[in-house]
Amino acid sequence: MSPPSAMNKCQKAYGNSVNAVKERAQKDKTAFQHGFLLALINQNARITLKRPKKVSMRTSTIPKIVMLEIQASRVDVLALASSFCAKVHEKEITEGVPQQTADRRFNKNIIAFTQNFIFDTCLELGYFFDSKLSKNSMKSIQTERIDNVYANGSFFASQNDILFIGRKINAYFTELLKNKRTVVVEQNDQFISSLLENYFNIAGMAF
């Protein structure tokens, strides 16, 4: 058996430490929650997505939300996120945070800001949540981690439902962006609507 120090070095090299595995699992959960919330929003909105410059090979990739169009309202989500996070980035550089670290935090904050934005959008559309904030950190924006979803005053979806649907939506978006930098997901996209209707009918819940 290899000595502990050698094993630790091997685990670190391959990203198999307990913390690394937990971090990847949480990134996947974030991606699936992101997909689930966008599926709910798509019933009322046209969504423009953009493929990130870097695509992870070990975790699910979260597409950037460029635009949400609900009726006559158009919201440039990416511009809002970039503007807010750029101010945070500038403040960190001024306070002496290394450029590389600030850049990495900027990208994480873009995802967190967007996640919070679509969470709030779902609230405006009439959904409610049992959720808790992610761990408070000076390094990045906190986000809501959802346990249960309610619609029309009734229980709608559990965390297992969120992860199941979200995984499929994330895979669908990834496929759409495979050979394109940006795509437009029309309101009531056929794949998304069918997935939601079929799943929740099977689960005995009306969508």
CA gap 34, 54 in Å, rounded? 18
| pLDDT at position 203 over 70 | no
Cβ 121 vs Cβ 41: under 8 Å: yes
- Point out the least confidently predicted range of 7-11, 62-66, 181-185, 192-196: 7-11
Residues of the chain with pLDDT > 70, as a percent, come to 87
Whole-number pLDDT of residue 191: 97
| pLDDT at position 115 over 70 | yes
Whole-number pLDDT of residue 32: 96
Torsion on CA atoms 135, 137, 139, 141, rounded to nearest 10: 60
Cβ 114 vs Cβ 143: under 8 Å: no
For 76-91, how does the pLDDT look when each residue is reduced to its tens digit (9 = 90+)? 999 999 999 999 999 9
Name all contacts of 105-110 with Cβ < 8 Å and 24+ positions apart.
Answer: 105/139, 105/140, 108/139, 108/140, 109/81, 109/84, 109/85, 109/140, 109/141, 110/64, 110/81, 110/82, 110/85
Whole-number pLDDT of residue 10: 47
Mean pLDDT computed over 136-154: 87
Whole-number pLDDT of residue 17: 77
| pLDDT at position 156 over 80 | yes
Whole-number pLDDT of residue 50: 96
Residues of the chain with pLDDT > 90, as a percent, come to 65
